[in-house]
């Protein structure tokens, strides 16, 4: 598909241009499927309101990358439940306890009881996932690194392994599964005739990879 990149200052008409493209698509093909991706739900709601006012809401899905990932996985027949924050916290606690019981928790042993420790771990793992860095890759990258980074890599591996065994994914893990589904079944993107990505000034590694795969298969 043709990719059009619009770079301009705020309030210079980028969103209006996108809305016009959606209307043009539905003028030529009323039932064509269009997707609009925004950084968050607040911006998605604002875009949806403008689109509805312009008369282009029919067959247009407006949401976040997370919504698109779930749609792709549903199409692949691989809808995976997303772990809640309390469940993620419990899995992190179990991973830390397992590493500690094996005598391999040294750097983080004194930190595990501090407020915010597990939140910091969760944020670190989320950033790794958004960058499409898998546990096995991180283990290899850190094998000759500082002990603290090696421990972090082992905790990351244990955390992900526990998620897999439970059959759950965390929010960032949905991007992994969706990217893998698109790589196996590129035809999943074929029904999307127009993909609009608005309001972003940067993308994570997972988002970039998903967009690359979608651009190769989607209609416009």
Sign (positive/negative) of CA torsion 61, 67, 72, 77?
negative
Beta bridge partners of 196: 36
Closest by Cα among 108, 94, 101 to 147: 108
Q: What percent of the chain has pLDDT over 90?
A: 66
Q: How many C-beta atoms lie closer than 10 Å to residue 34's C-beta? A: 27
Q: How does pLDDT run across 152-166, given as a tens digit for each residue? A: 999 999 999 999 999
Q: How does pLDDT run across 66-122, given as a tens digit for each residue? A: 999 999 999 999 878 999 999 999 999 999 999 999 999 999 998 988 889 999 999
DSSP string across 82-121 = BPPHHHHHHHHHHHHHHHHHTT---TTTTTTTSTTHHHHH
* Cα–Cα distance measured from residue 77 to residue 131, given in angstroms and rounded to the nearest whole number: 25
Q: What is the DSSP letter of 81?
A: P
* Global confidence as pTM: 0.85
């Amino acid at each position: 598909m043709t990719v059009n990149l619009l770079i301009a200052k705020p309030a210079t008409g980028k969103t209006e241009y996108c809305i016009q493209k959606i209307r043009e698509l539905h003028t030529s093909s009323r039932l064509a499927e269009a997707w609009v991706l925004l950084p968050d739900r607040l911006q998605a709601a604002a875009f949806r309101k403008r689109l509805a006012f312009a008369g282009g809401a029919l067959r247009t899905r407006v949401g976040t990358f997370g919504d698109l990932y779930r749609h792709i996985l549903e199409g692949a027949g691989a809808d995976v439940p997303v772990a809640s924050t309390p469940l993620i916290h419990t899995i992190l606690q179990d991973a830390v306890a397992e590493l500690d019981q094996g005598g391999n928790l040294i750097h983080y042993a004194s930190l595990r009881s501090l407020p915010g420790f597990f939140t910091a771990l969760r944020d670190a793992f989320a950033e790794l996932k958004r960058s499409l860095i898998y546990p096995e890759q991180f283990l290899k990258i850190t094998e000759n690194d500082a002990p603290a980074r090696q421990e972090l890599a082992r905790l990351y591996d244990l955390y992900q392994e526990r998620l897999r065994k439970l059959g759950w994914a965390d929010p960032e893990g949905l991007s992994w599964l969706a990217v893998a589904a698109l790589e196996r079944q590129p035809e999943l993107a074929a029904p999307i005739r127009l993909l609009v990505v608005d309001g972003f000034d940067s993308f994570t590694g997972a988002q970039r990879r998903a967009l690359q795969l979608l651009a190769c298969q989607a209609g416009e």
